[in-house]
Amino acid sequence: MLKRYLLTPGPTAVPPEVMLRMSQPLIHHRTPEFETLFAEVQHGLQWLFQTTQEVLMLAASGTGAMEAAVANLCSAGDTVIVVNGGKFGERWTKISQAFGLKPVEIKVEWGQAVQPAAVAAALQAHPHTKAVLVQASETSTTALHPVKALAALTRDTDTLLVVDGITSIGATETPMDEWGLDVVITGSQKALMLPPGLAFIALSEKAWKQVESATLPRYYFDLRRERKEQQKHTTAYTPAISLINGLSAVLHLMQDEGLEHLFARHALLAAATRAAAQALALTLLAQTSPSPAATGVFLPEGINGSQFLKYMRDRMGVDIAGGQDHLKGKIVRISHIGYAGPFDVITAISTIEMALRRFGHPLELGRGLRAAEEVLMDGWPAIG
């Protein structure tokens, strides 16, 4: 009997109460009942995005919302600045290329955050840039980009700041209106603790103005049509009904916890994991600007990362993510996002300690756990 633990930065574990909610009989989506549900989650999403703008729901993965942003804001030949510091930064480039844009890439070493000065310089070199495309939290490298500082560069210009908040919304402070973010995107399978299948996108007034003049082709992802329908609490095309039902349960859980506590919890779990990694003399991938959504850690030299992950998954029941592209086989990524608590950190570190020992790495068992516990105890409420 192998008890399974899903500790990957998406999909993330779904709380049982949410699973139960999604198991309710389907309701039809062209009914007042669905409209009531939809209006309720729309309201909750505005709270979560910290915006007065509409947050549109799409039956798609997060990448669909990234494409929707590009297709609705740009015209062929437009220049966009892409912060490419990982797999998802690279995805902005690929989407831009697929739509005939001219992406100007700011390459950032994997694990590092972009320097705002580099974006400022690119903006200066390309004054007619339509948009800056960036991740708030680059899931592939577990680094956090300084989105607030980037917004300060674009806020009073014609350039839009388009933020992939897929592993930041609900995990770390990304207040759309306060920071002046023009587009914010997220997906259901991260901090929203749902199965994959829903994407979310919100646009600022400035961004909505651009939608009118953009000429890229769009049909399924035409946000003008979606906005019109969603203002009536329905969707242009068939919505992912059970996921939206689950979303209602999730938003209640999140509202019960509160944004401040939600962010503090993610920060605590990430800090405990980093402390454990350091106690085990494992090198962190994101050293200066680590994301609270996940922690990337280099494996010791000589350990085959694919075999290591396979052992943990198949033999120990613990699913932790590996690296992508040139980091494949070299790192592991431990998720803290969504339905995660202190004992998920403990389980992840314990798995890694035992698996490292099993793979021949000399290591004092319990050392990482002790460090994690020291940090976690700061976050436990006091007695009484």
Stretch that binds a copy of itself, among 36-44, 56-64, 204-212, 308-316 (CB under 8 A): 308-316
What number of CA atoms fall less than 13 Å from residue 31's CA on the CB side?
8
Smallest separation (angstroms) from a copy of itself to the CB of 169 = 16
* Closest separation in Å from C-beta 259 to a copy of itself: 12
Residue 369 interacts with a copy of itself (CB under 8 A)? yes
332 near a copy of itself, judged by CB under 8 A: no
What region does 100 belong to: left with phi over 0, alpha with psi -120 to 50, or beta? left
Residue list 338-357, contact with a copy of itself (CB under 8 A)? 339-344, 346-347, 350-351, 353-354, 357
Distance, CA of 293 to CA of 168 (rounded, Å): 7
The 11-30 site mask, x for binding a copy of itself (CB under 8 A), equals ------------x-------
Stretch that binds a copy of itself, among 2-10, 62-70, 110-118, 157-165 (CB under 8 A): 2-10
Q: Of 290, 84, 65, give the one whose Cα is nearest residue 186.
A: 65
CA distance 370 to 275: 9
- Closer CB to a copy of itself, residue 51 or residue 350? 350
Strands in 99-149 per DSSP E? 102-107, 131-135, 137-138, 143-144
In angstroms, give the least distance from the CB of 59 to a copy of itself.
25
Write a three-state SS string for 216-278.
CCCCCCCHHHHHHHHCCCCCCCCCCHHHHHHHHHHHHHHHHHCHHHHHHHHHHHHHHHHHHHH
Of 43, 307, 325, 328, the one binding a copy of itself by CB under 8 A: 307
Question: In the bound complex, what is the minimum distance in angstroms from residue 22's beta carbon to a copy of itself?
Answer: 13
Give me the least distance between CB of 373 and a copy of itself, in Å please: 4
Amino acid at the residue 6? L
Binding of residue 178 to a copy of itself (CB under 8 A): no
Q: Which is nearer to a copy of itself, 2 or 125 (CB)?
A: 2
Interface with a copy of itself (CB under 8 A), residue from 237, 315, 325, 328: 315
Counting contacts by CB under 8 A, is residue 5 touching a copy of itself? yes
- Cβ-based nearer residue to a copy of itself, 226 or 344: 344
* CA dist., res. 268 & res. 295, Å (int): 12
Rounded distance, CA 317 to CA 6, Å? 9
| Binding-site size, a copy of itself (CB under 8 A) | 46
Q: For residue 248, what are the contacts with CB-CB under 8 A and spacing of at least 6?
A: 21, 37, 40, 41, 44
Report the nearest approach of a copy of itself to the CB of residue 267 (Å). 14
> Least distance to a copy of itself from the beta carbon of 337, Å?
12
Site for a copy of itself in 246-275 (CB under 8 A): 253, 256-257, 262, 265
- Segment interacting with a copy of itself, rule: CB under 8 A, options 83-91, 171-179, 234-242, 367-375: 367-375
Single out the residue of 311, 324, 329, 330 in contact with a copy of itself (rule: CB under 8 A): 311
CB of 82 to a copy of itself, least distance (A): 35
Which residues in 298-325 are b (16+ Cβ under 10 Å) and which e? bbbeebebeebbebbbeebebbbbbbbe
Cβ neighbors of 110 (< 8 A, separation 6 or more) are: 85, 86, 140, 141, 143, 285, 326, 327
Residue 20 burial (C-beta neighbours within 10 Å; 0-12, 13-18, 19+): exposed
Q: How many CB atoms lie within 10 A of CB 256?
A: 9
Binding status of residue 190 toward a copy of itself by CB under 8 A: no
CB of 159 to a copy of itself, least distance (A): 38
Among 351, 169, 187, which residue's Cα sits nearest to residue 276? 351
Our CB check for a copy of itself shows the closer of 220 and 359 to be: 359
Cα(321)–Cα(319) distance, integer angstroms? 7
The least CB distance from residue 172 to a copy of itself, in Å, is 16
CA–CA dist 102, 113 (Å, integer): 23
List interacting residues with a copy of itself (CB under 8 A): 1-3, 5, 23, 253, 256-257, 262, 265, 307, 311, 315-318, 339-344, 346-347, 350-351, 353-354, 357-359, 364-367, 369-371, 373-374, 376-377, 380-383
